[in-house]
Homo-oligomer: A and B are copies of this chain.
């Protein structure tokens, strides 16, 4: 039963990366949909809109990256597995 830590690490990495994909993806889709609608209403503001959108997407993306980093740390830099 000594490999329970490894099992929990694998399961935890899976859970982290799954949660890190569900909600950020939903939020990015919502933001992009709103941007499409906004550009259709004000095509001349497209530059400002897409610049603001990309900064926002980058900030949402960081959260998915946090989850991925933690998952990789659990697998390859786990301090508790010998």
Contacts and interface: CB of A to CB of B under 8 A. Distances in A.
Interface of A: 2-46, 48-76, 78-81
**Majority SS of interface residues in chain A?**
helix
B67 A6 contact: no
Nearest to A63: B21
A34 to B, nearest CB: 4
Given A3-B4, A19-B22, A48 B50 contact: yes
A19 B16 contact: no
Nearest to A4: B7
| Nearest 5 A/B pairs, CB to CB | A27-B29, A38-B40, A33-B34, A18-B19, A12-B14
A60 B20 CA distance: 11
